[in-house]
Amino acid sequence: MRVVAVTGSASGIGAAVRRRLEGEGARVVGVDLRDADVVADLGTSAGRASALEGVERAAGGALDGLVACAGLGPQVTPTSLLVSVNYFGAVALLDGLRPLLAAGRAPSAVAISSNSSTITPGVDGAIAAACLAGDEDEACRLAGEAHGATAYAAGKLALARWVRRNAPQAAWAGAGIRLNAVAPGAVLTPLLQEGLDDERLGPAIRGFPIPLGGFGTPEQIAAAVAFLLGADGSFCCGTVLYADGGSDALIRGDAY
Q: What is the pLDDT of residues 19-66, one digit of tens each?
A: 999 999 999 999 999 999 999 999 999 999 999 999 999 999 999 999
pLDDT at 98: 98
The active-site residue, picked from 87, 152, 242, 256, is 152
CA distance 154 to 129: 9
| Crossing angle between the packed helical segments 148-166 and 136-144, to the nearest 10 degrees | 150
pLDDT value of residue 126: 97
pLDDT tens for 189-217 read 777 777 778 777 777 777 678 899 888 89
Mean pLDDT, range 168-181, rounded to an integer: 98
CA distance 17 to 33: 17
Distance CA 203, CA 215 (A): 14
- Look at residues 61, 66, 18, 17 and name the one whose alpha carbon lies nearest to residue 224: 17
Report, as an integer, the average pLDDT of 125-141. 98
145 or 206, which is more confident: 145
Alpha-carbon distance of 68 to 139, in angstroms, equals 20
166 confidence band (pLDDT: 50, 70, 90)? very high
pLDDT at residue 256 tops 80? no
Q: Is 137 exposed, middle or buried (0-12, 13-18, 19+ CB in 10 A)?
A: exposed
Q: What is the pLDDT of residue 161?
A: 98
Is the pLDDT at 188 greater than 80? The verdict is: no
Confidence of residue 89 (pLDDT cuts 50, 70, 90): very high
Report the predicted TM-score, pTM, of the whole model to 2 decimal places.
Answer: 0.94
H-state helical runs in the chain? 12-23, 45-59, 81-83, 90-96, 98-102, 116-119, 126-132, 136-144, 148-166, 190-197, 202-206, 218-229, 247-251
What does the pLDDT read at residue 253? Answer: 86
Looking at residue 7, its pLDDT comes to: 98
What are the domain boundaries of the chain? 3-241
Mean pLDDT, residues 76-102 taken together: 97
Report the chain's mean pLDDT, rounded to a whole number: 94
Judge whether 152 counts as a catalytic residue. yes
pLDDT, mean of residues 246-250: 92
Could you say which architecture CATH assigns to the domain 3-241?
A: 3-Layer(aba) Sandwich (3.40)
